[in-house]
Structure 1
Amino acid sequence: MGVEVSVEGLTKSFGSQNIWRDVTFTLPSGEVNALLGPSGTGKSVFLKTLIGLLHPEQGSVIIDGTDITLCSAKELYEIRKLFGVLFQDGALFGSMSLYDNIAFPLREHTKKKEDEVRRIVMEKVEMVGLLGAEDKLPGEISGGMRKRAGLARALVLDPQIILCDEPDSGLDPVRTAYISQLLIDINATIDATILIVTHNINIARTIPDNIGMLFRKELVMFGPREQLLTSEQPVVKQFLSGDRFGPIGMSEEKDEAVAAAEAAMQAAGISGGGTKDDFTEIIPQVQPNPGMPERKASVRHRERVLEMLPTFTPNVQDAILRSIAQEDEIKAQNRGEMAQAHAATVAAPAVALGKSAPDYAGDDAVTQSWAVAPGLVDGPTEEYEVPNEGGRHSSTEIPDNRS
């Protein structure tokens, strides 16, 4: 399972320029998280601080119980083995083939034999859709392919923490959707803690369990995705909608004269160019592909958020409960479709062999494959008491998939 990452009072500067100050939040074990913020707010600097490439002026970064701001170089080297990092531009070695780039962490940090290295590398190459391109140099492929090769390299050590610096940059919308799905499938498979830095609002709406946002050198908020997506804070609403009218300007500190002029244009009905999407309408979170295990992190996240529910405003509570209902509906639908697919698979060979479907379904091999198919049997349910807007309590029944 992925490990918890906790930052407290983190402050970073370059000389007299303060990047961010007093940043405090926790990435829960195994959950998927996103960090948003305008360009230049230090999101990439934050990732480099998490892995100890940059040292903060104040605060702590506690990973698996170790504060990396205080540990020795040897301890930091061991802690870094927990990480897989997808850099913004892929950060591949230009003189190495994709295969050798992806194999590099295995050769550097393990004593595996070359045949085992090849098995792992080719598994990751296939996972990111680069089969047939493994012998090419980074300069011979597109930016999107380099990004996918960088992701394969980040995964070869089966990391417990995965940091992704703008995984969608250089990718078209279709490849972005594939990368997003891949991250969810990876989380379902190895239960790694994931932090995604992104400007892509669609990724932020559909992928993470939790979202944070940096602005003007501070953490605006961090919590369940529904909390940020339903926020009434002007900076959050402006960033989500992509509108030029609001606190965010071309430079981080918007000039008062510019702000006044834009306010006048807005009052006159002139558009700021943003989308008119209703972000309070929560889009269902992306689920693992059929055949993948259910995300253990989603179960833990649900339990944690339901415990916190009374601390949220009524609109956030409502959004969270609607999200839970949507997720349960999607899971039930997926289980039904998988059951139908398995029934069809069992029945077809039975007809071909002149057997009845029930007889063939009793075959040991078929019975075994049916038994290991994930998510076909509903688990027990538990009742959670959640407050409604009037302060009264109602009971919501939520499937418990921990088994």
Structure 2
Amino acid sequence: MGVEVKVEGLTKSFGSQNIWRDVSLTLPAGEVNALLGPSGTGKSVFLKTLIGLLHPEQGSVVIDGTDITECSAKELYEIRKLFGVLFQDGALFGSMTLFDNIAFPLREHTKKKEDEIRRIVLEKMELVGLAGAEGKLPGEISGGMRKRAGLARALVLNPEIILCDEPDSGLDPVRTAYISQLLIDINAEIDATILIVTHNINIARTIPDNIGMLFRKELVMFGPREQLLTSEQPVVKQFLAGDRFGPIGMSEEKDEAIAAQEAAMQAAGISGGGTQDDFSEIIPQVQPNPGVQVRKAAIRHRANVLQMLPSLPPNAQAAIRASIAEEDARAAESPESVATLVALANTDFSTTAGIDHALAQADTQVMDRPTDVVDRPTEVYATADDAQTQPIDTSAIENAVKKSDGQGE
């Protein structure tokens, strides 16, 4: 299981420039978390501080009972073995093949034999869709493939804490969806604590259990995704909507004259370019793939949400209750393929014993795998010209749809 990361009163500056101050939050053990915020608010700096690459001026970072801001270099070295890190640009060694890049942590931190290292590396490469590319150099592949190679390297030690700095950058929407799904599956399988720094609102709405947001050198809020997604704070609503009207400007401090001008434009009905999505509705969270264990983090998360529900504003309470009812309804309609939702629907959250029983059962339950699901191909194309368009056989899909309507074979 992943470990808890507790941050208290963290302050970081570079010279006279303060990056953020008095940041306090707790990443619950084994849950998926996201950190949002405008560009330049120090999100990547926060990740580097968590692993001890940067030292804060004030505050503490307690990981597995050790405050890394005060521990020795030897203790910090051991703590870092708990981490898997996906850096924003992949951070691959340019002179090494993808295989050697991904194998590097295993050779550095373990005494495994080369045949075992090869098995692990090829397994992780297949997991991220890079099978067959082990001999390529980073300069011979696309930025998206480098990002996936970086993720494979972050996973080879089966880390208890995974940090992802903008995992979607350089990826098209389809590959972003695959990476997001992969992170949920990893969380289900090894119960790792995950922190994702992202600007992708779709990821923020569908992947994490908890969300935080940095703005103007401070942590605006951190808590269950339902709390932030239903927040009435102007900066949160503006960021989620991607609108130019609001507290966030091109520079971090929006000029008062510009703010007044934009307010007048908004009052006149002029669009700020943001999405018109209804953010008062909590859309369903991504579930593990078929064949993957029930996600224990979802059980712990719902228990936390129900505990704090009475303290939330009425609009948030209504949205959360509607979301829970929808999840339970989907579980009732399709229990054979949504094991995590079934576990949530059948858990007695009013007692500690009920929650503990559900967590214990999750160790033995897996998402059922529909027989009509076909494994996706793992071919890797060096260039667009190498990809040959093939006709798609839709008979299995059509038959699966008919079966769901009671018409199939």
Task: Say whether the fold is shared (TM-score over 0.5).
Answer: yes
Aligned to 2:237: 237
Query: In the superposition, relative to structure 1, how do residues 374 and 314 fare at CA in structure 2: closer, same or farther (>3 Å)?
Result: closer
Match of 2:350 among 384, 387, 402: 384
Cα distance in 1, alignment partners of residues 194 and 124 from structure 2: 17
Matches within 5 A, 1:98-109: 98-109=98-109
Query: In the superposition, relative to structure 1, how do residues 305 and 256 fare at CA in structure 2: closer, same or farther (>3 Å)?
Result: same
Q: Secondary structure at the match of 2:286?
A: coil
Aligned to 1:299: 299
Cα displacement string for residues 330-361 of structure 1 (whole angstroms, at most 9, x for unaligned residues): 444453358xxxxxxxxxxxxxxxxxxxxxxx
1:134 is displaced (CA, Å) by 1.1
Percent of aligned pairs sharing the same letter: 82
1:383 is displaced (CA, Å) by 5.7
Query: In the superposition, relative to structure 1, how do residues 221 and 78 fare at CA in structure 2: closer, same or farther (>3 Å)?
Result: same
Query: In the superposition, relative to structure 1, how do residues 129 and 59 fare at CA in structure 2: closer, same or farther (>3 Å)?
Result: same
Query: In the superposition, relative to structure 1, how do residues 158 and 333 fare at CA in structure 2: closer, same or farther (>3 Å)?
Result: farther
Q: Secondary structure at the match of 2:204?
A: helix
Aligned to 2:402: none
Aligned to 1:84: 84
Aligned to 1:360: none
Q: Secondary structure at the match of 1:336?
A: coil
Aligned to 1:313: 313
Count of residue correspondences: 357
Query: In the superposition, relative to structure 1, how do residues 377 and 320 fare at CA in structure 2: closer, same or farther (>3 Å)?
Result: closer
Matches within 5 A, 1:147-186: 147-186=147-186
Cα distance in 1, alignment partners of residues 344 and 211 from structure 2: 30
Equivalent pair of 2:290/2:337 in contact (CA under 8 Å): no
Query: In the superposition, relative to structure 1, how do residues 337 and 248 fare at CA in structure 2: closer, same or farther (>3 Å)?
Result: closer
Partner amino acid, structure 1, of 2:173: P
| Stretch of structure 1 that moved more, 307-316 or 127-136 | 307-316
Equivalent pair of 2:328/2:344 in contact (CA under 8 Å): no
Partner amino acid, structure 2, of 1:236: V
Cα displacement string for residues 170-229 of structure 1 (whole angstroms, at most 9, x for unaligned residues): 011100000000000000000000000000000000000000000000000001101111
Cα distance in 2, alignment partners of residues 380 and 173 from structure 1: 34
1:23 partnered with 2:53: no
Partner amino acid, structure 2, of 1:34: A
Aligned to 1:70: 70
Partner amino acid, structure 2, of 1:319: A
Aligned to 1:222: 222
Cα distance in 2, alignment partners of residues 191 and 337 from structure 1: 20
| Stretch of structure 1 that moved more, 304-313 or 63-72 | 304-313
1:52 partnered with 2:55: no
Partner amino acid, structure 1, of 2:350: Y
1:291 is displaced (CA, Å) by 1.2
Cα distance in 2, alignment partners of residues 29 and 376 from structure 1: 22
Cα distance in 1, alignment partners of residues 303 and 167 from structure 2: 29
Cα distance in 2, alignment partners of residues 106 and 334 from structure 1: 41
1:376 is displaced (CA, Å) by 8.9
Equivalent pair of 1:29/1:192 in contact (CA under 8 Å): yes
Cα distance in 1, alignment partners of residues 341 and 244 from structure 2: 45
Cα displacement string for residues 107-157 of structure 1 (whole angstroms, at most 9, x for unaligned residues): 000000001101110110010010011110011111111000000000000
- TM-score, normalising length from structure 2? 0.84
Cα distance in 2, alignment partners of residues 43 and 319 from structure 1: 28
Equivalent pair of 2:9/2:21 in contact (CA under 8 Å): yes
Query: In the superposition, relative to structure 1, how do residues 333 and 291 fare at CA in structure 2: closer, same or farther (>3 Å)?
Result: farther
Partner amino acid, structure 1, of 2:308: M
Cα displacement string for residues 233-279 of structure 1 (whole angstroms, at most 9, x for unaligned residues): 11011101111111000000011111111112112221111111111
Aligned to 1:341: none
Cα distance in 1, alignment partners of residues 15 and 143 from structure 2: 33
1:111 partnered with 2:111: yes
For structure 2, the residue ranges without an aligned partner over 5 or more in a row are 362-409
Query: In the superposition, relative to structure 1, how do residues 381 and 77 fare at CA in structure 2: closer, same or farther (>3 Å)?
Result: closer
Cα displacement string for residues 17-43 of structure 1 (whole angstroms, at most 9, x for unaligned residues): 000000001000000000000000000
| Stretch of structure 1 that moved more, 217-226 or 254-263 | 254-263
Aligned to 1:261: 261
Equivalent pair of 1:7/1:62 in contact (CA under 8 Å): yes
Cα distance in 2, alignment partners of residues 127 and 297 from structure 1: 22
Cα distance in 2, alignment partners of residues 302 and 309 from structure 1: 10
1:297 is displaced (CA, Å) by 1.0
| Stretch of structure 1 that moved more, 87-96 or 305-314 | 305-314
Partner amino acid, structure 2, of 1:296: K
1:401 is displaced (CA, Å) by 5.9
1:375 is displaced (CA, Å) by 9.2
| Stretch of structure 1 that moved more, 236-245 or 314-323 | 314-323
Matches within 5 A, 1:122-201: 122-201=122-201
Equivalent pair of 2:299/2:344 in contact (CA under 8 Å): no
Larger Rg belongs to: 1
Cα distance in 2, alignment partners of residues 185 and 201 from structure 1: 20
Cα distance in 1, alignment partners of residues 350 and 340 from structure 2: 25
Query: In the superposition, relative to structure 1, how do residues 259 and 138 fare at CA in structure 2: closer, same or farther (>3 Å)?
Result: same
1:380 is displaced (CA, Å) by 5.6
